[in-house]
Amino acid sequence: LYSGFPMVENVVFVAHPNFSGGVGDGNCYFTAMALLLYGTSSAWLRVKAEHLYYLEKVLINKDHVRHKFYKCQNAVDSTTNASGRGFKGAWEGEVNLWERLQIPNCWTSDEMCALTADVYGVFLVLYSFTTSATSEYGADTVYDLRTYGAFNSRHLFAAFKGGNHFVPLVPNTFHHYEVRLPRIS
């Protein structure tokens, strides 16, 4: 259980470990989102496919509201790698957003969060925190808070642990309403 996150200090979260048999397979972002959106991490491939479908639709249609944004996002290459079960070693290279969605087991960064917010019409809150006591911030310390999407949408919470692993955060409350992040001013 985690609590004390900025802006929602009184909310206690359950953090799913989000490991597939203890093997880092590069799909932790999509399994985290699948757990939050569909209630099961096994829907990760559907989530990844929905991201790809939406991105292709936007990039093809020059009149789409988000075309310019995603065209700029897609023009930037960033270093990533791909690994997984039955794959010896890891592939490493420079890829753009569209290529990242095409490559199996390709690790992603928080650049995918804006796409998730657009695909599902959600407000995604991403906390980045350390996992090592030797980091400059100390162990389990939140050092970054980012939000994506429209505030008046369903709120989803996730953590980016140690700079390389996404973890879904589910409020541990028994209320019928959703926990909402206060407006950031």
In the structure, what pLDDT confidence band is assigned to residue 185 with cuts at 50, 70 and 90? low
Looking at the domain 13-171, which fold is it? Answer: Cathepsin B; Chain A (3.90.70)
Helix 112-120 × helix 44-60 angle, to 10° = 90
Each residue's pLDDT tens digit, 124-177? 988 887 666 555 555 666 667 788 889 888 889 998 887 778 889 888 875 555
Residue 140 is predicted with a pLDDT of 66
Distances (CA, A) of 20 to 33, 34, 41: 14, 13, 9
In the structure, what pLDDT confidence band is assigned to residue 24 with cuts at 50, 70 and 90? low
Each residue's pLDDT tens digit, 60-118? 999 999 999 999 999 988 877 777 666 666 777 888 989 888 888 888 888 899 999 99
Instruction: Enumerate the domain spans of the chain.
Output: 13-171
Q: Say what the pTM is.
A: 0.81
